Copies of this chain bind each other. A is one copy, B any other.
């Protein structure tokens, strides 16, 4: 009698028919003899509507009240799914986050789950009752409603699975798994049978929006076996698991891209100690995340100056430029340039740890297509390059072929 957590995303509970469909999927696990806890998102579109209400009252809103408003969507779905289960003859009840409770930090709007009281819910699960829990929310130490940030229902599901010691956490969504790359762009993209937590983290952080990054972190830290699968088909999805579960590790598991970055270049920055801190300190203070950073030798003939290039997210670009320009007198650079028409392409795979030449193959493939690389950054299991946005699709297809990922 395994214990399974099933999570249904917004498109999987978008209307009453889909809620009934989700209930049928839960019933199937119950009929197979499993104990089941379900985590639900809001019906798709609902959270956006609620956020719109809030921002149309006040763009500088109190996040505590924001959380009261936007958390209501999942509450509705949890009651409806419990009702749909009952209609199928399955014993079920909703558990709101203050009823369990799900304890979180006081960081309203982006709270972190600190603990889940599972005693009562476990008793009920053992008695054959399905628990339906609204995702995306919890209760703060001040006994107020918190939310976990957009996509937070994934994290709710994984945290609940960890707290319950669940055998598996199935994430039902509108795609049928994790692909080697975006199948809308690369027709030959393949669905992965398995992927490691580390790779999934890198995929999520560079734009493959299948799972919220935080949820993968929690799954990795607690060893929760995740399955990403479609609520509209019966195919098995992609398992996100520990590295040692994957016997035949591919060199590269996937290729991700992010159009969310913008590039800033400071030209003619004096080449002296402390200059990097002088640039990135003020950006950090302004809560602007800097991703890739490269420092080039400058074209300056007497070598006393350098060029500094870095990337920020597009929404932060304006503030980043203003922050750096304000420091102009101190930093004393010659010129600031920025470019929004860039895309970051990343090849990801734990296999690259043990294989040489992975990065070289990437540079080669891009060069063959005449694509100029603007910035390079590498991590243990990822090589990322920044290129002009117009080459995004061409680069993805070329790399997919170069690393042997195309399906037959």
* A53 x B16 contact (CB < 8 A): yes
* B94 x A65 contact (CB < 8 A): yes
A19 interfacial contact with B, CB 8 Å: yes
How big is the A interface, by class? 35 or more
Given contacts A57-B16, A87-B57, A145-B96, contact A69 B76 (CB under 8 A): yes
A93 interfacial contact with B, CB 8 Å: yes
Given contacts A16-B53, A145-B96, contact A69 B79 (CB under 8 A): yes
A19 CB, min distance to chain B CBs, angstroms: 7
B residues less than 8 Å from A57 (CB atoms): 16, 19-20, 80, 83-84, 87
A221 interfacial contact with B, CB 8 Å: no
* A68 x B79 contact (CB < 8 A): yes
From the candidates B58, B68, B99, name the one contacting A86 in the complex (CB within 8 A).
B58
A231 interfacial contact with B, CB 8 Å: no
* A62 x B76 contact (CB < 8 A): no
B residues less than 8 Å from A16 (CB atoms): 53, 56-57
* B78 x A75 contact (CB < 8 A): no
A124 interfacial contact with B, CB 8 Å: no
Interface residues in A22-78 (C-beta closer than 8 Å to B): 50, 53-54, 56-58, 61-62, 64-69, 72-73, 75-76, 78
| Cα–Cα, bound, A73→B68 (Å) | 11
| Cα–Cα, bound, A53→B73 (Å) | 13
B residues less than 8 Å from A50 (CB atoms): 76
A201 interfacial contact with B, CB 8 Å: no
A303 interfacial contact with B, CB 8 Å: no
A110 interfacial contact with B, CB 8 Å: no
* B96 x A68 contact (CB < 8 A): yes
* A82 x B62 contact (CB < 8 A): yes
* B72 x A72 contact (CB < 8 A): yes
A143 interfacial contact with B, CB 8 Å: yes
| Cα–Cα, bound, A98→B75 (Å) | 14
Q: List 8 A-B contacts (CB under 8 A).
A: A19-B57, A20-B57, A58-B86, A62-B86, A68-B75, A68-B76, A96-B145, A98-B98
